[in-house]
Amino acid sequence: MRFAIQINEGPYTHQASDTAYRFAKAALEKGHEIFRVFFYHDGVNNGTRYTVPPQDDRNLQKLWSELAESHKLDLVVCIAAAQRRGILDANEAKRQGKDGDNIAPGFRISGLGQLIEAGIESDRMVVFGD
């Protein structure tokens, strides 16, 4: 079965990103496909590579990046939500005249059309948030 996942909450606010990550992992282990993970609202904060939690804490950004690499996941960050919160890729940083970008490996910045498409193309859409 094909799943789409939406995450509306930052990595260390409550538990939404943790739950979504464990759900995604369990779905992949069962042989399901994950069409896309869409990070919306404060969820975009999962996608900055400048995340540096204490060494004995889980690093959700890294976990997502690693899962994306091992399973070729499409991690999409909402562009409007990202710009408000200072999440930029190289193109956006240049376009906005900023001195650097911070998008994490495996993440890409795109628009809400990607969320709609995920809903259309997937059998189930599962939302995690605040």
Partner 1 sequence: MSTLHTVNKSPYERNALKSCLDHLSAGDLVLLIEDGVLAARKGGAFAQVLGDVGRSCKIYALNPDLAARGIAVGDLVEGIQTVDYGGFVDLAADATRVCAWL
Q: Using CB under 8 A, list all residues that contact partner 1.
A: 1, 3, 8, 14-16, 19, 22-23, 25-27, 29-30, 32, 123-130
CB of 125 to partner 1, least distance (A): 7
CA distance 113 to 116: 5
102 is catalytic: no
Question: Are the C-beta atoms of 76 and 39 separated by less than 8 Å?
Answer: yes
| H/E element, 2 | strand 2-7
Between 24 and 88, CB nearer to partner 1 = 24
Between 91 and 121, CB nearer to partner 1 = 121
CB of 123 to partner 1, least distance (A): 8
CA distance 1 to 82: 30
Point out the catalytic residue in the list 7, 20, 77, 78.
78
Between 105 and 129, CB nearer to partner 1 = 129
Dihedral (CA of 123, 32, 125, 35) sign: negative
